[in-house]
Amino acid sequence: MATPARGFTREQRTTIVYGILGFVVVLVVLQLWLLTATMNAFLGGDRAVVLPAALVSTGCLALNAGLLRYLRRLERAATRAPAR
């Protein structure tokens, strides 16, 4: 993700963090469902879903980590920028 060109105000960053939080909550709930469904399938002897589910979960983690990294970059940019 690109580094923001200028520092956002804290209010703007709060709005952004709300948006990111919304995405992350949805992805984490998806991962929880995926984990329980995979565990149920695995214990029931259905092994075909295990690897695809692990890959999808890893993708969700990568997306979440990317959003968190973007948030960190926003903060750094805001700290570097003069007070607004």
Partner 1 sequence: MSDAVDPRIDSPGREGLTGTARSSVYEPAAEREQITLPPDGRPDSAQPAWRGDFPVDWPADQYVARRDFTRFLVLTSLAFTVGQWWIAAQQWWRERRGLLPLKRIARLDDVAPGSVLTFAYPGENDPCFLVRRRDGTLLAYGQKCTHLSCAVIPDPDRGVIRCPCHEGLFDLGSGRPIAGPPPRPLPRVTLEVRRGEVYATGIEERTV
Among 4, 60, 73, 77, binds partner 1 (CB under 8 A): 60
Confirm or reject binding of residue 64 to partner 1 (CB under 8 A).
yes
CA distance 60 to 62: 5
Confirm or reject binding of residue 77 to partner 1 (CB under 8 A).
no
Least separation in angstroms between residue 14's CB and partner 1 is 5
Q: Indicate the length of the chain as a whole number.
A: 84
Least separation in angstroms between residue 71's CB and partner 1 is 6
Which pairs from 69-72 meet CB under 8 Å and 24+ separation?
A: 69/1, 70/1, 70/20, 71/16, 71/17, 71/20
> Under rule CB under 8 A, how many of the chain's residues touch partner 1?
46
